[in-house]
Structure 1
């Protein structure tokens, strides 16, 4: 069934109690009115059906993101994984707390330094150019399948040292774990945690053929582990790292490019400004990240009883932090339901905050910047076939599965 994305709407008076469900496809079509009601009526929300709590105001979310001892990542950042109680392998950064998190994060930080990320721009531009050259002469195509999905896949493949002919299969396997049946929860099993055994052959090959890529760096890296032992990573730890990077870098960046495509189609006047002055593009990307974040909620495991709004949230609970709601909170943003590429950007939480701030934020921004520059240079205007668009079927990442456009 085709799902359309409604324009942001104002809150209407509804006598029924507010209800938010991350698995409800009708709510996912336009969740922002529900978020507004949550902020106003139920800043601490409890969903009895799925047994979780949720925070929707920016101040509460900021405090929770900083308080990792109370709102722990050690059981995973996804509701279904927390509920499943699966053992998390070491090195899964998204599913760790300090001190182990800080040790493992430091190993990846060197890969994502500002200088290292900026050095990738020529290669990213070449990948964008190659993808767009294939579209020359076409007057309509699916932005997701023909461009938005392609670029992040190539960039992550380059970073990891995955041969180009294997990159599509690697992306498909990473995406498979996120897909759900419409309205259903993610089916969590041991496979939901990134063991990534399908990367093993590449790691073995890189051990014999070192190169300038993440796998080679991880094979060589020495660190002091939580037991105080100086050592290199085990093969299983490297597999976990590689899988985290592959999964986090593909899906979210592709969805960001899709949102840029639909938002600029809805705001052709602002699109024309970007065409006339590409220097505005970085701020436009941050506004898209605020207005339509790819990840709407971050889950946390509550480690101890905590008092919120006169209610005791018991230890062992799952707490959903509604980042997308924080991004539309009028107490933080003026006129938050308006898309504005000139908005003064600060306090953006789409990439998280505190200990788990996304290591790949600078890379995602760079990919989006280069991709949009090259796309606008070839296609300064386009229309979306709104009757044929569809949101992806996942409870963790919100974005377009298909986005057919007509250029001209």
Structure 2
């Protein structure tokens, strides 16, 4: 391991040992090194809630236009238009406005019956088996079906599309992700886009094909084919990966807290708040990075323009300065304003959908399997530097 900075604390987002349980390191960063610098990977990081919240909302100092992932910013790749997470105003404002037309509260609420059907289809065949996998049997299935339905991807193709997206995020343990200029080219969706142009339906692809808008130059137009391909690629990836991790963490954390799990099984009205606490306690995306566009002072030190700043969302969500005993899981906690979905202009547009999927998944699991314990010998964490969660989480059920 490379030498830590003077405080003796060391944080490396690629270190499998740290990633297995980053929270002791996060606590030390908050207490001992509120502005941290990692020399080997050349990034700064803040870990306290107040600092993370301030940083992610200051989109003029810490910009998104060069990417929101450390490796991507360092790669210097030109980001194609349509990647909402990796855009700044005024382009971001225009593109986000288009997507807000799709992810309306009414549209999200209408998905509930379909989500329940997908859960039932995944879980009902497992009755009597004595075990199932929170990820393989549910977490990797239901979100894929939901986002496929929203996009308009034929059901028989949804699994292959999901696997392609997952493969882009996988890394070799302990190593950064590698990027190429075509990492968001969207060619996997090209045939679907072309078919939808001739066969419109009530889905996101059709909406994007037909939407008219005023772009950042004041020109009234429709999206180009390349922009649509990028949009769809981003939505498909974001809609699958993080919700899959949320469902996996629900299985693990509630196995670790069986008393609280039994309370949820007995009273489903507690589940929405339990999902909020799960999102706080185990954020599927534990950090987000930004390019520093101008010098900024943090805790008495200057972070120079041209640096990369990493905002440790997973640490901020457990900061005792914000949450009483932040490392304690409590389904009765008044969670309030967590940072899991970001803040400000880049607040996750799919947050309501992720919460809905998480709530329904937990309700449907608890209806059928109120008791479970994790088979730790068969459980594996995913190797990725962008999200944190389980590749497999087999459980034994009574």
TM surpasses 0.5: yes
Match for residue 227 of structure 2?
Answer: 237
Residues 1:314 and 2:304 are matched in the alignment: yes
2:139 equivalent in structure 1: 148
Indicate whether 1:109 and 2:130 are aligned.
no
- 1:220-261 CA distances to partner (integer Å, 9 max, x unpaired)? 100001111000111111111101100101010000000000
Match among 58, 61, 66 for residue 52 of structure 2: 61
Q: Distance in 1 between matches of 2:17 and 2:46?
A: 21
- Which residue pairs with 1:207 in the alignment? 197
Within 5 A, what are the aligned runs for 1:321-360? 321-360=311-350
The equivalences for 1:158-237 within 5 A come to 158-192=149-183, 194-237=184-227
Structure 1 unmatched runs, 5+: 1-14
- Aligned partner of 1:44 in structure 2 is 35
Q: Hey, what's the Cα distance between the residues in 2 that align with 1:236 and 1:336? A: 44
Q: Which residue of 2 aligns with 1:83?
A: 74
CA deviation vs aligned residue, 1:285-326 (integer Å, no higher than 9, x gap): 010000000001100000011111222111110000000110
For residue 289 of structure 1, the aligned residue among 279, 289, 301 is 279
The Cα shift of 1:387 comes to 2.6
Secondary structure at the aligned position of 2:289 is classed as strand
Structure 2 gap ranges (5+): 1-5
Displacement of 1:402 after TM fit? 1.1
Question: Would you say the 8 A contact 2:100–2:349 is kept in 1?
Answer: yes
Aligned to 2:197, what secondary structure does the other structure show?
A: helix
Q: Which residue of 1 aligns with 2:112?
A: 121
**What's the offset of the Cα at 1:105?**
0.4
2:127 aligns with one of 114, 125, 136 = 136
SS at match of 1:144: helix
How big is the shift at 1:23?
Answer: 0.3
Q: 1:403 aligns with which of 383, 393, 397?
A: 393
Residue 190 of structure 1 aligns to a residue in which SS? coil
Give, in whole Å, the separation in 2 of the partners of 1:386 and 1:177.
26
Which of 367, 372, 391 lines up with 1:377 in the alignment?
367
- Count of aligned pairs: 394
2:217 counterpart SS class: coil
Are the counterparts in 1 of residues 7 and 32 from structure 2 also a CA contact under 8 Å? no
CA distance in 2, matches of 1:21, 1:131: 37
Cα distance in 1 for partners of 2:175, 2:394 equals 26
Deviations 1:124-148 (A, max 9, x none): 1111111112212210122211111
- Report how far residue 390 of structure 1 moved: 1.1
The alpha carbon displacement at 1:388 in A equals 2.5
Question: 1-side partners of 2:111 and 2:393: how far apart?
Answer: 28
Aligned to 1:247: 237
> In the alignment, what sits opposite 1:93?
84
Larger mean CA deviation between 16-25 and 47-56 belongs to: 16-25
SS at match of 1:394: coil
Q: Which residue of structure 2 lines up, in the alignment, with residue 28 of structure 1?
A: 19
Distance 2:134 2:267 in 1: 23
Divergent runs of 4+, >4 A = none
User: 2: distance between equivalents of 1:32 and 1:290?
Assistant: 13
1:264 equivalent in structure 2? 254
Alpha-carbon RMSD across the aligned residues, in angstroms, is: 1.1
Aligned match for 2:267, one of 248, 254, 277: 277
**How far did 1:341 drift?**
0.3
Q: State the Cα distance separating 1:16 from its structure 2 match.
A: 6.5
